[in-house]
Structures are given as structure tokens and as C-alpha cells.
Chain A
Amino acid sequence: MIRLAKKRMSTWAVFGAVLFMVIQVVSNLYLPNLTSDIVNDGIAKGDINYIWQAGFKMLGFSLISILAAVCNVYLAARTSQGLGQKLRSDIYRKIINFSHDEMDQVGTSSLITRTTNDVVQIQNVAMMFLRMMIMAPIMLVGASFLAYQKDAQLTAIFLIVLPIMAIFIGGVMYFAVPLFKAMQKKTDRINLVFREGLTGVRVIRAFRRDKFEQERFDDANLDYTQNAKKVYSIMSVMFPAMTLIMSGTNIAITWMGGHLIANQAMQVGNLLAFMTYAMQILMSFMMLSMVFVFIPRAQASAVRINEVLDLNTPIKAPANPTKFGNQPASLAFNQVNFRYQNAEHLALKNIDFQMTAGQTVAIIGGTGSGKTTLVNLIPRFYDVETGEVSVKGVNVKDVTLHDIHQQVSFVPQKANLFTGTIRENMQYGNAKATDDEIWHALEIAQSKDFVSELEGGLDSHVEQGGGNFSGGQRQRLAIARALVKKAAVYVFDDSFSALDFKTDALLRKALTEDAEIQKSVVVIVGQRVSTVADADTILVLDEGQLVGKGSHAELKANNTTYQEIINSQIREGDED
């Protein structure tokens, strides 16, 4: 945690916060001292002037205390939230530049939590630290010192009270913390069962298992309730017991202090002040013990954030990058082997093919056969182990990432749209695209109809992730977006899966007939035979190996894997 805070929190601000806190605490602590003066020198001696004097002094110190407090809160608020801002920024920049490897390693949802919740945790703890956590020790030390000054002998009481308190707090935590943790799990369980009841409502009703669901929920509910009763019962000891310990301390001070006063070893006013200090000591001790509850939680967040900041992408730009020239589009895989980080087996073995402008290559194979992996090598989302991927005759490793991404237009499996208008989404890869160009792309992507039916046309709003469009529409918009960007290679990674047969077919027809796209290489990854059948070359992948390469007719005649795929989709006798 310290590592995270370093450099991201100004030393001066932290120092200032501590300083103001010291001022706040000290002037607060001085108040009981003045009270005792009022009693000792004012009341006991009947000096009313002195009482007024001491009283105004008290007001003065209160004022100093509040001013210091406000300054402390101000600095604490600015630095802690500033820490959050800087952390978010650093993590965000880091993650945006991650390659696929790092994204897979941590996982998108985990990265999101780390950037959001974990940072909020850290900044909250920083805020608490600059307020509560430094207040507790200062108050503890200050009050102890002053109490000792008032009367050294009475301080012995703390030698008994503090350990009792420590043992008690420790004991309660020992029993309560595991139960609190269990409670979190049991809450999750209730939520899970309830959510499953929502998502599965049709299945549950169709199978007439309402009663079973009810019982399943009741089990979770009962389990939680029993645990909660246990936890809160333990906690209900806490408050009265703490009050009792404090009151007991007060009584002991009165009793022992009385004897000291009788022996003329102490003044009455000091007794009153001592009591106040005693309370402050016990309160700060309790506050301090709370710190031990918060620190581990924040520490866990800090570890998760550091993990992200420590990850470095292995994909580096070359020292002297080459530039793409005006050569015609082409795509080549030359004896490519690829392995995922730390993987035992190669994910792609000996992939070799060449494509020139105007050609379409399709890739087919089962799940896990390496189709997506293969196309991910084209825009250099991963680096090959051996061999070479080249676009327009240039090795993708020899140019900057920016340049290769300029040449390759990529449609990933998941159609991610972004908040904004349709036009903004369409201009994603080509900020200068005109409305005509956009409509043309939308037409090829079979989206012209539904976009023009929208009230706002190109200015229609796109919600987060494209939530206001159906899966098929999102996919078509993502395709259009890729087409607006002029590129040498277009990659469609299983981008037609949410489309029905008819739309799929129309789209591919429009794609291959477009004059502009005919100057490029088109790569299509597909699941359905009908999607890939029209391609110039079909690559058949099985467990990372290229087991077939050729046209539909060739492969259908003599490739067993391809035949198997055909058979799984169309039974014999269905063929025309």
C-alpha cells in the first residue's frame, strides 16, 4: 500500500495533514487542563476573574482546534481523492495498452474491479488514514502524557484497564470476524439462488420445480439468518461491555484519586482532568483497534492493483520501424508456430498460406482449434514464436503497432459498440469518413434498413456496449464500422454467428462484390459451412494444425475433417 501511495501523494500535503491533526488534538487535549485550572485556581480560590480568563482561553483553543480540523480534512480530502485519481489514471493507461496476453492473464472483469472498487477502497482508507488513523495514536500519546503529568500514580490504572480492553476486543474479533466472513458468503449464496430463480424462471416452471426452488432458497435464507443472529448476538455484548469498562475506569479513578487527594498528593481539579484524559485514551485505543480491521482489506486491494501495474506487455515496437508503402494488399503466414504464455503445447503449428488482393480466405474448425488465435496474429495481438506474419509483404514485427493496426481492420467475435452516436461509432477507425461512405458501409453490412428506420438516423444514440441494439444488429454495426476504415486486410472473426442464414448470405455477397474491398484481402472465420463455402481458399484447422487448404469443392471431395463438419451440419440425403 505504501508503494502505491508513494509518488502519488504529495509529501507536503501528508505532512501538513499530520501537522494540523497534531494541532487539533493538542488543543483539544488542552481543554480538560483548563477545566482543572478553573476548579483548582478559580473555584477553590473563589477567583471569578480567573474563571473568565480560563474560559476564554478554552474558547480560543476550541477555535484553533476547529480551524486545524478543517485544514486537516481539506488536505486529507484532496490528497486521498487525488491518490484515487492518479491511481485510476495509471491503471487505466496501463490496461489500455495491454496486449491480449495480459488481458487473458487477469481477466477483463477482474481488471474492471481493480480499476473501480479496489481504487475506491484505497482512497477511502487513505482518507481514513489521514483523519482517524493518525488521530488515534496522537491522541493516545498526548492524553497519556498529560494524564501522566497530572498524576503519575493514577496512570497505573491503565496498566490494568488497557490489557482488559485489548483482550476483550481481541476476543470479540476472534469470534466475530470468521462469522462476518461467513456472512458474506451466505449473502452471496442467497443472491445466487435468487438470481437463478429469475434467470431460470421458465425452466423452473416448465419442470414444475417451484417447491424445490422455494426450499433451496429457504435453506440459504435460514442459514444466513442463523449466522446473522449469532454475529449480532456477539456484537451486542460489545457495546455494553465497552461502556462498562470505561465506567469502571471512571469509578476506579474517583476512588483512588479520592485517596490521593486525602493524602494531599493531588488536587481536585486534576481528578476531573484525569478522568477526561482517561476517556480519550480508551477511545483512541478503540479507534486504533479498528485500524487493524481496515488495513488488511485495503492491503488486499493494494496487492491486486500492484499486480496490474507490474505487468508489462512483451509486445514491443521495433527500434527502427519500417513504413508501409503503396504496395498492393497481401497477407502471408510463413511457417508460423505460436504458443500461449507458459503453455505446454503449441496453439498453432506450422501455419503457412499466402493471399493477394481481392482474395477471400475462410477459416473453419471446432472450438479450440485455433481459428481466433490465428487471426489475432495478423494485427499482432500476440507475437509468433517462430515464423513470420506479413501484411503487404512487410513483417508485422517490423512496423509500429499503430501502423499495422492502420492496415488491418478487425471485427472481433464480440461486437463491442461504444457510447455515443452511430456516426461516432462508424468513424471509429476513420475520423474523416463522410456520411456517404458510412451509408455505403452500412448497406454492405445489411444495416441500412434498420439504421434509416431509426428516428435519429446516424445521430441515433448508442448506449453502453450497444445495449439498445439486438445481438445481430450490433454485429452488423461492428462490421460496418470495420468497413468504414480503409484497410489492406479485413478480418471477420466469427462475426456472422448472430445473423440468420439469409442476412449472412446477403452480407457476404455484398462484401465480395464491393469494388473497394476487392483491393483488399478478406479473412473470414466461421462455424457454418455455408458461411465459408464461397471463399477462394478455406483453411481447415484441427487442434492448431492446418489439416486442409483448398476450395469448398476440393475439400468436400477429399478432406475428412471438412466432411465431418459438413455431416454434422447437414445429414446425408439433405444435399441437393
Chain B
Amino acid sequence: MAEKTTNQSQGSHGPGRGMGGVVEKPKNFWGTTKRLLTYMSSRLIGLVIVLALAIISVIFQIRTPKVLGKATTEIFKGVMKGNAMQKAGIPMDNLPIDFDKIQQIIITVILMYLASAIFSFLQQFIMTRISQQTVYELRKELKDKMQRVPINYYDTHSNGDIMSRAINDMDNIASTLQQSLTQMVTSAVTFIGVMWMMLSISWQLTLIALVTIPLSLVVVGIVAPKSQKFFAAQQKSLGLLNNQIEENFSGQVVLKAFNREQVTIDTFEEQNALLYKAAWKAQFISGVIMPLMTFVNNIGYVFVAIIGGIRVSHGQVTLGDMQAFMQYTQQFSQPITQLANLANTIQSTIASAERVFAVLDEDDMSDEPSGIPAVVDDQNQLELEHVEFGYQGKDTLMKDYNLKVKPGEMIAIVGPTGAGKTTIINLLERFYDVSGGSIKLQGVDTRDMTREQLRSHFAMVLQDTWLFTGTIWDNLKYGNEEASDDVILQAAKAAHVDSFVRQLPDGYDTVLNEEASNISQGQRQLLTIARAFVADPDILILDEATSSVDTRTEIHIQHAMERLLQNRTSFVVAHRLSTIRDADNIIVMNHGSIIETGTHDSLMAQNGFYADLYNSQFSGNVEI
């Protein structure tokens, strides 16, 4: 128990086991349990074998003390016989113990132990395969699901939440399937078996032993919930303290610059003391459970020894049986404690499973044909007709929006920070579908083609330079799986990637790590540009760099972007004056919606939001 609780408090954030013994109740226990078990149904035979093996192993294990006790009885018989003979005045060197019989008993016991051990091993061995395979499939299914849910799901659920389901909850399920399931069976079988064996020896002694059960239940029922409560308090304090540490270390510069050292130390100590209070109580209460159970067990043990001793001396019970009985008494309370613990574990596991299933039950991306006829020989590469759009349950952002884009045109998107420039990208790539009107690609409504077909016309270069943990080469190839080595090299050269990659010790085989500490932010941006080159799309979506990169890299990025833009239709989230002014059309956004569209000159003439935004760049008297 003590070890278990330490493990629990080590498990960090997240629900279920990680919360330090606080059990979360599932909403639909049996429904979810049934569903979780169906995942194992393909391995039903294996499961039945495992259960059978577990039961057989326990049965063998349970019988051995009684059989071995017979050996003790034989020895004791011999002793008593010898004593009687000595009292009768018959001299002897050796007491008359029947070693042939004992040998027989011992061989039986050895065989039983071996059988029990082998069955127990086989049971574990097969169960490992069943549980790991089940979790493997569950993980795979979850990952598949993540690929099928609409982007909307990602926008409305935090990554932390999804990750905690995929990792903590999944771990919870895995370890329960691995351990708790068979433990539950063996505990139950042990409990029943031990009872049975005890009864077969003496019902009177069994009655005495049973008296301890209510006592154990009192311990399990009263102390354990208390310990849970303190663990919850400890976990909460620890969480608050950790938040404080995180915040203050990240902002340590500010703390120092504002002379706040003493103030923060004071508040830290306050929280630290609270944690200490909750923590020692939690540790104390949980640490006491085990000795308490031992004590309860000892009470039973003592009375069994007394009553048993009296009965043996009266010849009502053999000594071997009493020895066995005392061993049973010690084994007796273990399954109770174990089952009580398991009840919590299983509840939290089912709650975890519920959270995982909740993801699996999300709706997939839906495909409904637009019912809008295709325009033959459309001169427009893209056309937005009477587009209406708003995020689910929020205000309408676009109403009756129209835009025609001819091949090769550049559309600039401008607006203050947080103006919702990603909305356009969401609609073009069909991460979201329009709620009214139509977006046509070469005359065909984008809803009437598969997303694959549609997206094969696009490539994106965003400021969020997402690359995956893999080699540079594989990351470049990400743009197009079928691209030849030549094409990739060409792209790398065009995007100024080739030169810096060759300076890396492993060249194109350099593995990008998670923190991307081995190449700079600017170089990552260049890689995403090269990746877009490899994709060689008709239409580009580009987010211009504003992040802090050094002058030289910035020049490289701009060159590369310009090259990439050549002869392509493009949508550019623009930060630079040159881009804005060269654009064939400018989409001006504010507060999530499109407020103006037109060329630079026409928008300046309107003297509206755009003109204001443009002029404000030259704030002072200085001309740039």
C-alpha cells in the first residue's frame, strides 16, 4: 500500500490514477465496461484460457498449506507417539516419524507448487499479449479518429485535453488490463478458496477468523476515504505550488527588475507550508492503513492460535491442520484489501475509457454535395460566390461575400493582429465548410470534390513552422511523396536550404529534434518554403515572416518566397508594404470578418479602415 501510494503521488497531472488516489466516477459504468470488453472479444478464447489458468493456479496454490500441514501432523504424531513410548519407558534414539509418508506428501506438494507456478506464469504471459494487443488497437483507433474528425474539433478542444486522453487515460487502461483484471479474478478465487479450505478444516475456527472481516472493512471503509481526501488536498496544493513555481521562474527577470523577491518568497512559503500540512497527513493516513490491517489480521491470528491450540490439545483438530489454518488466516485479509483497491482502480479506468470513447464517438467530417452545378470553362481559378460563414454558434463573419481570382493573381490579406486571417485559409482548404454560397475551384464547387483532390492544388507556408521529428530530407519530401530526389534538391536550392543543410554534420540526414534546437527559426521557415516548392501547387497560401530572424536569413526567406510565388495564384497574409501594394486584390479584415476588398488604389480612395491602417505606419514625421 505504501508503495502504491508513493507511485500515485509521483504520477503527474491528468485524470485517473495520476490524481493521487482520487477516484473519478464514471457516468455509465456498465455500458463503458461492456464496450471496453468488446475490444477484447476477438481474443475471447485467450481470455477464457487466462481465467481458467488463473483459477487453476490459485486452486493449486490454496491447497498446498493443507497438504503440507499433513507432513507436520505426521511429525507431530511421531513426536507424541515417541513421547508416549518414552513415558512408557521404551528407550529410543529416533522418534518414530513416518518419513515414507512424509516423502509422499512432500512430492505431492512439490508437484502442486510447480503446477501452480507454471499456470500462473502462462496466465500472465498470455494476458500480457492480450492486453498489450488490445491497447495497441485502441491507440491506433484513436489516432485514426484524430485524422477523421473535422478541424473544428481541434479548435474547440485544447491539445492538453486531447493529449491527456491519449496518454494518461490510455496508460490507465493499459495497466488495468495488464494487471488488475487477472488480479481481480485471482483475489476473488483466493478469497473463496481460502474460505473453502478453512471451512474444510474447522467451521468453528473459520467463524473466529471471519470476525476480523468487519474490522478490515471498517479500516478499508473509514481510513481509506480519509486518505483519499488528504491526497486530493495534497495534490491540489502541489498543483498550486507548481503553478507558482512555473510562473515565477519564467518571470524571474520581472520579479528581480521590480524588486519583488521578498514578496514572492513570502507567498511561496505560505503555499509551501500548506502543502506540507496536507502532504504529511496524506502520507500518514495512507501509511497507517497497512499496519492497521496487519493488526486486525493479528487479532484473528491470535484467537485462531488460542482456540486452535485448545482444540488440537483436545484432539479435535490436527496440528498440521492448525498450521495450515494459521497460514490461511494470514492469506485471508489480503484479497479483501486488494479487492478494495481494485474497486477504485477499475472505477478510474472505466472513467478513463469513457473519456477515450467520447473522442471515438465524435462525428467524422461530413461530405455533402453542394448541389451547385459546375461552370464549364470557368476563367477563374477560384471564385467565392455569396459566401456565408461563421464558426459554430458564433456570429456570422461573412455574409454574401464575393471574390473572383484569376490564375496567377496575388490576393493580400491584411488586418490588425487577431483579425481572423486564418478564416480565409480554413475555407479555401475546406478545414471548415461554408454555411452558405459556394467556393469554386476552376468552376467546380469545392464540396463536390474530395478533400484530397482539392488540397492537391494547394500548399501552405505558415509562420507556425511545423516540421515533424525526422530527417530534413523526409521533411522536404513531405510536400510530395512521389517527388524525385532531383526535384527535392532543386527545391532545396531554390529555397536557400541546400547551403546551410550541407554545413550540418549529417547534411540532409540531420534529424530535427522536438525543440528544434539544432536549426534556427529562420532556417525552419526556409524548410517549410522548400517543402511547398516540392509540393509544386497551383495555389499558394503564404504567411509572411515577421518573427525575429536575423537580417541575412530574412533576405533569404523573402527571396525564396518571391520565387515560390512566381506564376502561381496566391493568398498572402501580408505584413510588408511591397506585398500589399503589388497585390491584385486586398482583403481587409478586422474582428474576424472581412470589411473591405479591393486594390490598393481603390481602397485608399475609399479612405476607410485600410487607408487608416496604411497611413498609421508612418506615425511620426519620419519617412521611411
Given contacts A205-B429, A236-B121, A502-B416, contact A258 B71 (CB under 8 A): yes
With beta carbons under 8 angstroms apart, the residue of A43, A46, A205, A464 that contacts B455 is A205
Q: How far is the CB of A155 from chain B (nearest CB, A)?
A: 19
Q: How far is the CB of A160 from chain B (nearest CB, A)?
A: 16
Query: Which stretch (A138-146, A172-180, A187-195, A437-445) binds chain B?
Result: A187-195
CA distance A271 to B69 in the complex (A): 12
Please give me the 10 A-B residue pairs with the lowest Cβ-Cβ distance, nearest first: A236-B124, A416-B251, A505-B619, A366-B550, A69-B291, A55-B306, A240-B117, A73-B287, A77-B283, A502-B616
Judge whether A243 and B252 touch: CB under 8 Å.
no
- Interface contacts (Cβ under 8 Å), in number, total 460
Question: Chain B at the A interface: mostly helix, strand, loop or mixed?
Answer: helix
Judge whether B617 and A494 touch: CB under 8 Å.
no
- Residues of chain A with a CB closer than 8 A to B139's CB: 190, 221
Name which residue of chain B comes closest to A508, CB basis.
Answer: B619
Name the residue in B253, B452, B462, B535 with the highest tally of chain A Cβ atoms < 10 Å from its Cβ: B253
Judge whether B288 and A73 touch: CB under 8 Å.
yes
A-B contacts, 23 listed (Cβ < 8 Å):
A43-B319, A55-B309, A66-B294, A88-B272, A108-B252, A115-B249, A116-B242, A120-B238, A193-B469, A203-B466, A216-B468, A217-B140, A243-B120, A247-B64, A247-B113, A255-B106, A262-B75, A264-B94, A367-B520, A402-B259, A416-B247, A416-B254, A497-B548
Q: Which of A495-517 contact B (CB under 8 A)?
A: 497-506, 508-509
Given contacts A243-B120, A405-B257, contact A499 B417 (CB under 8 A): yes
Judge whether A258 and B291 touch: CB under 8 Å.
no
Q: How far is the CB of A24 from chain B (nearest CB, A)?
A: 8
Judge whether A509 and B479 touch: CB under 8 Å.
no
B403 at the interface (CB under 8 A from A): no
Query: Which stretch (B24-32, B274-282, B343-351, B370-378) binds chain A?
Result: B274-282
Judge whether B117 and A108 touch: CB under 8 Å.
no
A12 at the interface (CB under 8 A from B): no
Judge whether B258 and A509 touch: CB under 8 Å.
no
Q: How far is the CB of B459 from chain A (nearest CB, A)?
A: 7
B262-289 CB mask vs A (1 if < 8 Å, else 0) is 0011001100110110011101100110
CA distance A294 to B131 in the complex (A): 27
With beta carbons under 8 angstroms apart, the residue of A198, A272, A366 that contacts B159 is A198
- Residues of chain A with a CB closer than 8 A to B250's CB: 108, 112, 414, 416, 465
With beta carbons under 8 angstroms apart, the residue of A77, A255, A379, A417 that contacts B284 is A77
- Residues of chain A with a CB closer than 8 A to B253's CB: 100, 103, 381, 410, 412, 416
Judge whether B279 and A84 touch: CB under 8 Å.
yes
A353 at the interface (CB under 8 A from B): no
With beta carbons under 8 angstroms apart, the residue of A44, A100, A212, A494 that contacts B80 is A44
Q: How far is the CB of B429 from chain A (nearest CB, A)?
A: 6
Q: How far is the CB of A470 from chain B (nearest CB, A)?
A: 6
Name which residue of chain B comes closest to A259, CB basis.
Answer: B99
List 5 extra interface pairs beyond A205-B451, A405-B259, CB under 8 A: A81-B280, A81-B283, A82-B276, A112-B250, A505-B619
- Residues of chain B with a CB closer than 8 A to A92's CB: 245, 265, 268, 272
CA distance A208 to B534 in the complex (A): 13
Given contacts A198-B163, A232-B178, A264-B95, contact A566 B284 (CB under 8 A): no
Q: How far is the CB of B477 from chain A (nearest CB, A)?
A: 9
B583 at the interface (CB under 8 A from A): no
Given contacts A195-B163, A240-B118, contact A258 B75 (CB under 8 A): yes
A570 at the interface (CB under 8 A from B): yes
Judge whether A89 and B272 touch: CB under 8 Å.
yes
B203-242 CB mask vs A (1 if < 8 Å, else 0) is 0000000000000000000000000000000000010011
CA distance A205 to B125 in the complex (A): 40
- Residues of chain B with a CB closer than 8 A to A96's CB: 248, 252, 255-256, 261, 264-265
CA distance A171 to B604 in the complex (A): 80
Name which residue of chain A comes closest to B547, CB basis.
Answer: A497
B336 at the interface (CB under 8 A from A): no
Name which residue of chain A comes closest to B251, CB basis.
Answer: A416
CA distance A108 to B485 in the complex (A): 41
Question: Chain A at the B interface: mostly helix, strand, loop or mixed?
Answer: helix
B102 at the interface (CB under 8 A from A): yes
Q: Which of A83-119 contact B (CB under 8 A)?
A: 84-85, 88-89, 92-93, 95-98, 100, 103, 108, 111-112, 115-117
Q: How far is the CB of B348 from chain A (nearest CB, A)?
A: 19
With beta carbons under 8 angstroms apart, the residue of A52, A81, A429, A508 that contacts B279 is A81
Judge whether B466 and A200 touch: CB under 8 Å.
yes
Judge whether B468 and A196 touch: CB under 8 Å.
yes
Q: How far is the CB of B12 from chain A (nearest CB, A)?
A: 8
CA distance A199 to B162 in the complex (A): 11
- Residues of chain A with a CB closer than 8 A to B74's CB: 258
B387 at the interface (CB under 8 A from A): no
Judge whether B624 and A62 touch: CB under 8 Å.
no
Name which residue of chain A comes closest to B557, CB basis.
Answer: A568
Judge whether A194 and B166 touch: CB under 8 Å.
yes
- Residues of chain A with a CB closer than 8 A to B178's CB: 232
Name the residue in B64, B264, B312 with the highest tally of chain A Cβ atoms < 10 Å from its Cβ: B312
B146 at the interface (CB under 8 A from A): yes
Q: How far is the CB of A7 from chain B (nearest CB, A)?
A: 17
Q: Which of A404-460 contact B (CB under 8 A)?
A: 405-406, 408-410, 412, 414, 416-419, 428-429
Q: How far is the CB of A437 from chain B (nearest CB, A)?
A: 16
B51-94 CB mask vs A (1 if < 8 Å, else 0) is 00000000001001000100110111011101100000000011
B394 at the interface (CB under 8 A from A): no
Judge whether A44 and B79 touch: CB under 8 Å.
yes
CA distance A103 to B255 in the complex (A): 13
- Residues of chain B with a CB closer than 8 A to A509's CB: 619-620
Name which residue of chain B comes closest to A412, CB basis.
Answer: B253
Given contacts A250-B68, A261-B79, A272-B72, contact A405 B460 (CB under 8 A): no
- Residues of chain A with a CB closer than 8 A to B623's CB: 575-576
Query: Which stretch (B1-9, B436-444, B500-508, B591-599) binds chain A?
Result: B1-9
Judge whether A240 and B121 touch: CB under 8 Å.
yes
Given contacts A70-B288, A240-B117, contact A51 B429 (CB under 8 A): no
Name which residue of chain B comes closest to A409, CB basis.
Answer: B257
A550 at the interface (CB under 8 A from B): no
A251 at the interface (CB under 8 A from B): yes
CA distance A58 to B94 in the complex (A): 33
B48 at the interface (CB under 8 A from A): no
Q: How far is the CB of B277 from chain A (nearest CB, A)?
A: 9
Judge whether B617 and A569 touch: CB under 8 Å.
no
Given contacts A98-B252, A233-B128, contact A254 B71 (CB under 8 A): yes
Given contacts A73-B291, A77-B283, A108-B250, contact A501 B313 (CB under 8 A): no
Q: Which of B142-182 contact A (CB under 8 A)?
A: 143-144, 146-147, 151, 154, 159, 162-163, 166-167, 178
Query: Which stretch (A324-332, A389-397, A526-534) binds chain B?
Result: A526-534
B132 at the interface (CB under 8 A from A): yes
B197 at the interface (CB under 8 A from A): no
With beta carbons under 8 angstroms apart, the residue of B79, B106, B147, B283 that contacts A210 is B147
- Residues of chain B with a CB closer than 8 A to A271's CB: 72, 75
